[in-house]
Structure 1
Amino acid sequence: MGPAWLWLLGTGALACVHCQHFSEHGDKRLEVPRGPSGPLSEPVPAYQTITPTITNFGLRLYKQLAAESPGNIFFSPVSISTTLALLSLGTQANTSTQVLEGLGFNLTETPEADLHRGFQSLLHSLGLPSPKLELKLGTSLFLDKQLKPQQRFLDSAKELYSAYAFLANFSDSTAMGKELNEYVRKQTYGLVSNSLQAFSQDTLVALLNFIFFKAKWKHPFHRYQTQKWERFFVDARTALRVPMMHQKEMHRFLYDQELACTVLQLKYSGNAWALLILPDPGKMAQVEAALRPETLRKWDQLLLPSLLDLHLPMFSVSGTYALEEVLSRMGLTDIFSLEEDFSAITGLLNYTASRVSHKAVVDMSEKGTQAGAASSLLLQPQAPAASATAAGTGPHAHFNRPFLLLLWHVTTESLLFLGKVINPVAG
């Protein structure tokens, strides 16, 4: 018999039995001090307890991926961090602590229950309708009929993450794999395809999540100003011909002399914006090393409106990753241990995490941007450990060499996507 798999994709997961029950609408807020006549200040949304940490986790993960890959990078920090945080709810206490601390959370300052309440609030807030911004998240849990997960676990999944459970027949693994991949593809409007790794007829659980982002520019580029073939310098010796958009428009902009990079904020017409960072030639590694939350805060304070002569390539890039080794280096080791117990999820003993995967795609054009992602975490029967294998009227910004891209949700201050464009036409 081949291995039996448990798939956990994206931002959905099952909640542990010791977590509190939260409000029906998933937007419970933190308690604030009260004076004689009422609150001393406005309530703080629960998601604010986690979004700075998610940003920091995304920047740390980016550095790990950049050290391994010389090519394009693109992923969703929200998707990956939420997947791991939710997985922690089905683990032993020590492993749960390790996962959350590996993500960067301080459990001494913020109790675990508050962190999960923050994720619930974040998912609810991201899912609220927003004019001119399409941001869609969802989770579905497919269970083989032989499983007996804890009912409290399933109830919490529905309550906290709106994750509905469905019976599935995994005996025909080929047909089921196609069906689940098609589900993710449809939910991301064709943007994310073939996100699931192949699995055998012994698959037991599939928890599928998607995140989809689509927004139009506040100041769209005019198609007639796009040059069909301009040079983009992948490196000092390689130049590509790419379609280059052009506009002269007011944008928040700065040049960081210390880090030798141009920083540009492009607003969408909805509740989001993009941050593009263009290092000077030869300075990419220097800028990457400085990627920290305090650097982003500094840039945000210094960005000033400028009439900018902007050249930006149209591009479509993607990233596909196996993250188990990277996450182990970041401190998340116990979920891959033979001693871990996931019986709260499977109803069976002797399962351990074997694969953490992620796929994300982004398209940027004259009208705007669309991006999507899916994350996966696989569990399989425990086995002996294997050996490891190792010129205008204002400033000029010409994005004709590798640059960084961050996509933000404004209200929640969430880093939805993060990446690096090395080759705009690599796909």
Structure 2
Amino acid sequence: MRTAWLWLLGTGILASIHCQPFPAHGDKSLGVPQIPSHQLSEPAPAYHKVTSTITSFALHLYKQLAAGVPGNILFSPVSLSSTLALLSLGAQADTPARILEGLGFNLTETPAADIHRGFQSLLRALDLPSPKLELKIRNSLFLDKQLKPQQHFLDRVKELYGAFAFSANFTNSATTGQINDYVKKQTYGQIIDCLQEFSQDTLMVLLNYIFFKAKWKHPFDRYQTRKQDSFFLNERTSIRVPMMQQREMHRFLYDQEVACTVLQIEYSGTALLVLVLPDPGKMQQVEAALQPETLRKWGQRFLPSLLDLHLPRFSISGTYNLEEILPQIGLTNIFDMEADISGITGQPNKTISRVSHKAVVDINEKGTEAGATSGLLSQPPPLNMTSVPFAQFNRPFLLLLWEVTTQSLLFLGKVVNPAAG
């Protein structure tokens, strides 16, 4: 009997950029979005029903990964949660409720129909074209030609999640290359060989990718980047990394209770990068304190100041088989024979045997448009260094990448070794 393998791939590319000064009009601070006065009487967008739950799910999943992964961590909460929610559309009996409740939704307070409309609203909002921010989130279904999925399911996933279904022959080894070529094309050549293995028993690949690319309003000066023994993996070991440097206006805070410095860097578009630097030896304490309430508290306390910033240039990725991790956070029954996914497969007694997720983030000095920032390269006048706060990210730190308009968490991760890839 052939088993239905579900592959979930979430991939993202981040071209890092330089922060802008504290905005004079409006505030993109995490947790305190500014609502234009003319919108105050308008109904809240449907995505407000899902974004806070996605954040809670992300923090819960992060703690499970941190407990078992000693190195770098990176995943896309929006990518992963939206694809699992999509999967619930093809489930039958009580399996949809199990999946949505495992994601953290209270179906008494938020019915399943509202959840799916929330994801529809979120994905459409994130997909709106912007000259300053390139963001694509896509879902695709590759179904074995022997399957006969319900047309109602195919129509709903297309309408709500923008997902298209393709027929595939998984007994043909060339299928892997065809799917890889598809993803490579969709991500402009950034993601290569995303699928490296699947057996001939595979019946279905549920593919999700997120592509993010933005630029700094004022790039880091690459001539100021220095490669030096400056990043401490632990108390005894340091490695040579390219350390970017700049002195610029940033919004940041020091949380004495949690024992960490939190820095907010703004993109030219509607996105924020939040970096959390634990005090030496306090990483586990900071991870334990990661709660939605903590993030809201930070968002309300950020203050602008000129900051002397030293940040490593790095590229990290995360690849996970989540079938062993998801049951630990409540998704307990989507991998056994009791889970009914016949709406997708068109056949009973097919199970999901794998949930695979991959994310990639690349942070460097460059923007994405050549010459677009050439007129903005002036540096602030020299100041006495002793009067400028100093932030050196020379030990493991956390990163959270947000889309501001929807308050959605695109990426969450931990940089333990910036040279590990």
Shift of 1:175: 0.7
1:110-149 aligned within 5 A: 110-149=110-149
1:384-399 aligned within 5 A: 391-399=385-393
CA distance in 1, matches of 2:59, 2:412: 8
1:108 aligned residue: 108
2:22 aligned residue: none
TM-score computed with the length of structure 2 as normaliser = 0.86
Shift of 1:395: 0.9
2:270 matched to 1:276? no
2:416 aligned residue: 422
List runs of 5+ in structure 2 lacking aligned partners.
12-38, 369-384
Match of 2:353, SS state, is strand
One-letter code of the match for 1:223? R
CA distance in 2, matches of 1:240, 1:426: 11
One-letter code of the match for 2:165? A
Judged with a 3 Å threshold, the aligned counterparts in structure 2 of structure 1 residues 67 and 8 are, in CA distance, closer, same or farther, namely: closer
For each residue in 1:367-387, what CA deviation from the matched residue of structure 2 results, as whole angstroms up to 9, or x when unmatched? 259xxxxxxxxxxxxxxxxxx
TM-score computed with the length of structure 1 as normaliser = 0.85
Judged with a 3 Å threshold, the aligned counterparts in structure 2 of structure 1 residues 218 and 93 are, in CA distance, closer, same or farther, namely: farther
2:160 aligned residue: 160
One-letter code of the match for 1:154? L
2:150 matched to 1:150? yes
For each residue in 1:327-367, what CA deviation from the matched residue of structure 2 results, as whole angstroms up to 9, or x when unmatched? 11111111112122211101111111211111111110012
Judged with a 3 Å threshold, the aligned counterparts in structure 2 of structure 1 residues 45 and 176 are, in CA distance, closer, same or farther, namely: same
CA distance in 1, matches of 2:6, 2:259: 46
Q: Check whether the contact 2:312–2:394 (CA below 8 A) recurs between aligned residues.
A: yes
Shift of 1:276: 0.3
Judged with a 3 Å threshold, the aligned counterparts in structure 2 of structure 1 residues 197 and 89 are, in CA distance, closer, same or farther, namely: farther
One-letter code of the match for 1:243? P
Judged with a 3 Å threshold, the aligned counterparts in structure 2 of structure 1 residues 47 and 64 are, in CA distance, closer, same or farther, namely: same
Q: Check whether the contact 1:192–1:360 (CA below 8 A) recurs between aligned residues.
A: no
Q: Check whether the contact 1:47–1:121 (CA below 8 A) recurs between aligned residues.
A: yes
1:54 aligned residue: 54
1:28 aligned residue: none
1:360 aligned residue: 359
Shift of 1:182: 2.3
Shift of 1:114: 0.3
1:18 aligned residue: none
Instruction: Please tell me the root mean square deviation across aligned C-alpha atoms, in Å.
Output: 1.9
One-letter code of the match for 2:211? F
Match of 2:113, SS state, is helix
1:401 aligned residue: 395
User: 392-401 or 92-101, which moves further after superposition?
Assistant: 92-101
Shift of 1:169: 2.7
1:187 aligned residue: 186
CA distance in 1, matches of 2:292, 2:140: 33
Match of 2:326, SS state, is helix
CA distance in 1, matches of 2:130, 2:170: 38
List runs of 5+ in structure 1 lacking aligned partners.
12-38, 370-390
Shift of 1:6: 4.5
Shift of 1:70: 1.1
Judged with a 3 Å threshold, the aligned counterparts in structure 2 of structure 1 residues 326 and 207 are, in CA distance, closer, same or farther, namely: closer
Shift of 1:96: 1.6
CA distance in 2, matches of 1:273, 1:237: 33
Shift of 1:92: 2.8
Number of equivalent positions: 378
Match of 2:319, SS state, is strand
Shift of 1:4: 5.2
Judged with a 3 Å threshold, the aligned counterparts in structure 2 of structure 1 residues 368 and 239 are, in CA distance, closer, same or farther, namely: farther
Q: Check whether the contact 1:2–1:200 (CA below 8 A) recurs between aligned residues.
A: no
Match of 2:405, SS state, is coil
One-letter code of the match for 1:152? H
Identity of aligned residues (%): 71
Shift of 1:145: 2.5
For each residue in 1:259-316, what CA deviation from the matched residue of structure 2 results, as whole angstroms up to 9, or x when unmatched? 1111000001111010000001001111000001110110111000010010000001
2:251 matched to 1:252? yes
Judged with a 3 Å threshold, the aligned counterparts in structure 2 of structure 1 residues 194 and 350 are, in CA distance, closer, same or farther, namely: same
CA distance in 2, matches of 1:10, 1:116: 19
1:6-405 aligned within 5 A: 6-7=6-7, 9-10=9-10, 41-172=41-172, 174-196=173-195, 198-367=197-366, 391-405=385-399
Q: Check whether the contact 1:10–1:83 (CA below 8 A) recurs between aligned residues.
A: no
Match of 1:400, SS state, is coil
Q: Check whether the contact 1:307–1:393 (CA below 8 A) recurs between aligned residues.
A: no
More strand per residue: 1 or 2? 1
For each residue in 1:32-86, what CA deviation from the matched residue of structure 2 results, as whole angstroms up to 9, or x when unmatched? xxxxxxx993210000110011011111110100000110000000111111111
For each residue in 1:217-258, what CA deviation from the matched residue of structure 2 results, as whole angstroms up to 9, or x when unmatched? 233211111112241001001100101000110000111111
Match of 2:324, SS state, is helix
Shift of 1:198: 1.7
1:372 aligned residue: none
User: 152-161 or 199-208, which moves further after superposition?
Assistant: 199-208
Judged with a 3 Å threshold, the aligned counterparts in structure 2 of structure 1 residues 6 and 315 are, in CA distance, closer, same or farther, namely: closer
Match of 2:354, SS state, is strand
Shift of 1:8: 5.0
Q: Check whether the contact 2:89–2:157 (CA below 8 A) recurs between aligned residues.
A: no
Shift of 1:9: 4.6
CA distance in 1, matches of 2:347, 2:3: 14
Shift of 1:326: 1.2
Q: Check whether the contact 2:10–2:75 (CA below 8 A) recurs between aligned residues.
A: no
Q: Check whether the contact 1:405–1:420 (CA below 8 A) recurs between aligned residues.
A: yes
User: 191-200 or 402-411, which moves further after superposition?
Assistant: 191-200
